[in-house]
């Protein structure tokens, strides 16, 4: 106690006066005013942040044991799994961490859709989120190629070849991506470099994401703004504790997969070394790409299919201007709420279709589900906004919380 008063505290003050890291942390992590009614759906952003850190750290240790060369990549991963102390743990944490990351971010995004967190003044926060999502997809795609298994090789072949559909410069883009005229060592090297670099870009984007979040603070289940100090509570200890509860549950699920079903999300074919002469009978991307893969395959024309696939993600950029209803939360939007769940079901259906072989009836179902996906954004959201009569939200967070409490009593 004495030591902290006589030496440590003055030293911290000295640093803080010159570089205010401690006051910044206090302002943004401890005293930070947070709506007092956040529920557990608001845990997923911080959980995604934790998994990002786990991915970067396990990725570093994997990289120091990995050889980015087509002759050695597969065996270097097998060597890591069998001979390196806890190599299997590192690899399973990283591989399953990727799937967990996408599960968390999908929940985080659907939370935003349900409670209208993408609406003014949080449009840029949402847009940065979509950029993060795109960056995550690119990173995951490149990472899946690195073990140089059959699915790595053929997945890379299918996806990179899609760019050849771009008029005039398509073949040039593919040659540039491959670093030659076939998928080979140059391709593997550039994917390794890209996979190592992109998480740093995602990390920077998350910082900007947080910056935008702290500008207008969090939305909340009622979707009304914080107006008085009575509407908020400090982030610490209330939400640090709540985040830790969420982390406990998350780690049980995550390590459940790592220790008891490490290959649950994987493809058995990827335990066979890449062979350009043998095409696997059924090439499927990782589960988190399946809805977009279904969109791609539901259109016969290659170029339009590729455009539709990218449009499926990029349409999210425009969402704040398509759903302009002033009431944010679906709690007060009875019609939007029904369509939200229909849209959710449609995304799951697209995922299911993406995993099937392209035969009837899956092709037709996929086409209908694709049409509905785009109709949700382009037609349904603007129409609901025009015709729905939302309920009146409470005038403040405190009023809403008190009303809910009285109702419960």
Residues known to be catalytic: 214, 218, 242-243, 286
Binding status of residue 202 toward ligand HEM by CB under 6 A: yes
Beta bridge partners of 149: 273
164 with 172: CB under 8 angstroms? no
Closest to ligand HEM by CB, 118 vs 293, is: 118
Is residue 112 involved in binding ligand HEM (CB under 6 A)? yes
Q: Is 129 in the site for ligand HEM (CB under 6 A)?
A: yes
Q: Does 125 bind ligand HEM (CB under 6 A)?
A: yes
* CB atoms closer than 10 angstroms to residue 140: 20
List binders of ligand HEM among 3-32 (CB under 6 A).
none
Beta carbon of residue 80, minimum distance to ligand HEM (angstroms, whole number) = 26
**Chain residues 308-347 in contact with ligand HEM, contact rule CB under 6 A:** 316
SS3 content of the chain, % helix, strand, coil (to 5): 75, 0, 25
For ligand HEM, the closer CB: 76 or 219: 219
Instruction: Identify which range of 116-124, 190-198, 339-347, 388-396 contacts ligand HEM by CB under 6 A.
Output: 116-124
Nearer Cβ to ligand HEM (130/159): 130
- Minimum Å gap between C-beta 53 and ligand HEM is 9
246 binds ligand HEM per the rule CB under 6 A: no
Q: Which of 150, 152, 157, 218 binds ligand HEM (CB under 6 A)?
A: 218
52 vs 56: CA distance, rounded Å: 6
Kindly indicate which of the ranges 9-17, 127-135, 145-153, 276-284 contains the residues binding ligand HEM, using the contact rule CB under 6 A.
127-135
Among 108, 242, 331, 376, interactor with ligand HEM by CB under 6 A: 108
Residue 339 token pair: 């369509």
Residue 48 interacting with ligand HEM (CB under 6 A): yes
CA–CA separation, 195 and 138 (whole Å): 8
Give yes or no for residue 49 binding ligand HEM (CB under 6 A): yes
- Of 330, 334, 314, 303, give the one whose Cα is nearest residue 374: 314
Which region among 62-70, 77-85, 119-127, 252-260 touches ligand HEM (by CB under 6 A)? 119-127
126 binds ligand HEM (CB under 6 A): yes
Query: Which residue lies nearer to ligand HEM by CB, 227 or 282?
Result: 227
State how far the Cα of 366 lies from the Cα of 5, in Å rounded to an integer.
67
3-state secondary structure of 273: strand
Dihedral sign from CA coordinates of 138, 141, 143, 148? negative
What x-and-dash track marks residues 28-47 binding ligand HEM by CB under 6 A?
--------------x-xxx-
Task: Give residue for tokens 């008063």.
Answer: 5
How far apart are alpha carbons 287 and 293 in whole angstroms?
Answer: 10
Closest CA to 87 of 116, 61, 120, 54: 61
Contacting ligand HEM within 219-238 (CB under 6 A)? 219
**# binding residues, ligand HEM (CB under 6 A):** 28
Q: Least CB distance from residue 263 to ligand HEM, whole Å?
A: 25
By the rule CB under 6 A, 118 interacts with ligand HEM: yes
The C-alpha atoms of residue 296 and residue 304 are separated, in whole angstroms, by 8
Determine which helix (DSSP H) or strand (DSSP E) holds 35, and give its type and residue range.
strand 33-35
Of residues 220, 51, 195, 205, the one with CA closest to residue 133 = 205
Q: Which stretch binds ligand HEM (CB under 6 A): 71-79, 188-196, 206-214, 354-362?
A: 206-214
Please count the residues of the chain. 409
DSSP E strand boundaries for 210-334: 232-234
Q: Among candidates 356, 347, 344, 346, which has minimal Cα distance to 297?
A: 356
Binding test (CB under 6 A) with ligand HEM, winner from 61, 92, 133, 196: 133
Backbone angles phi, psi at 184, to 5 degrees: -155, -155
Distance CA 333, CA 391 (A): 7
Return residues touching ligand HEM (CB under 6 A).
42, 44-46, 48-49, 52, 105, 108-109, 112, 115, 117-118, 122, 125-126, 129-130, 132-133, 202, 206, 209, 213, 218-219, 316
């Amino acid at each position: 106690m004495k030591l902290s008063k006589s030496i440590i505290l003055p030293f911290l003050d000295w640093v803080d006066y010159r570089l205010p890291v401690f006051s910044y942390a206090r302002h943004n992590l401890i005293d930070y005013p947070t709506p007092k009614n956040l529920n557990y759906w608001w845990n997923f952003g911080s959980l995604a942040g934790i998994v990002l850190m786990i991915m970067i750290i396990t990725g570093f240790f994997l990289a120091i044991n990995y050889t980015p060369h087509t002759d050695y990549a597969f065996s270097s991963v097998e060597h890591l799994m069998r001979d390196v102390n806890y190599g299997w743990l590192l690899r399973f944490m990283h591989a399953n961490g990727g799937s967990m990351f996408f599960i968390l971010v999908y929940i985080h995004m659907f939370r935003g859709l349900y409670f209208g967190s993408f609406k003014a003044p949080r449009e840029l926060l949402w847009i940065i989120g979509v950029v993060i999502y795109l960056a995550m997809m690119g990173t995951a795609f490149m990472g899946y190629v690195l073990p140089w298994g059959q699915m790595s090789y053929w997945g890379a072949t299918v996806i990179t070849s899609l760019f050849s559909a771009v008029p005039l410069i398509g073949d040039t883009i593919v040659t540039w991506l491959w670093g030659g005229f076939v998928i080979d060592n140059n391709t593997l090297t550039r994917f390794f470099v890209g996979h190592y670099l992109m998480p740093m870009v995602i990390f920077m984007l998350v910082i900007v994401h947080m910056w935008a979040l702290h500008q207008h603070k969090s939305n909340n289940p009622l979707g009304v703004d914080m107006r008085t100090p009575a509407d908020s509570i400090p982030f610490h200890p209330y939400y640090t504790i709540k985040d830790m509860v969420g982390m406990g549950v998350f780690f049980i699920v995550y390590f459940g997969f790592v220790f008891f079903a490490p290959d649950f999300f994987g493809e058995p074919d990827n335990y066979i070394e890449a062979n350009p002469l043998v095409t696997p009978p059924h090439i499927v991307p990782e589960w988190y790409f399946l809805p977009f893969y279904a969109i791609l395959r539901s259109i016969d024309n290659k170029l339009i299919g590729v455009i539709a696939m990218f449009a499926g993600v990029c349409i999210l950029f425009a969402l704040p201007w398509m759903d302009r209803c002033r009431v944010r939360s679906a709690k007060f939007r009875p019609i939007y709420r029904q369509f939200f769940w229909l849209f959710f079901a449609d995304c799951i259906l697209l995922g299911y279709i993406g995993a099937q072989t392209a035969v009837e009836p899956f092709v037709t179902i996929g086409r209908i589900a694709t049409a509905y996906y785009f109709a949700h954004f382009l037609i349904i959201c603007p129409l609901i906004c025009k015709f729905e009569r939302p309920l009146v939200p409470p005038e403040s967070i405190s009023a809403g919380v008190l009303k809910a409490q009285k109702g419960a009593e």
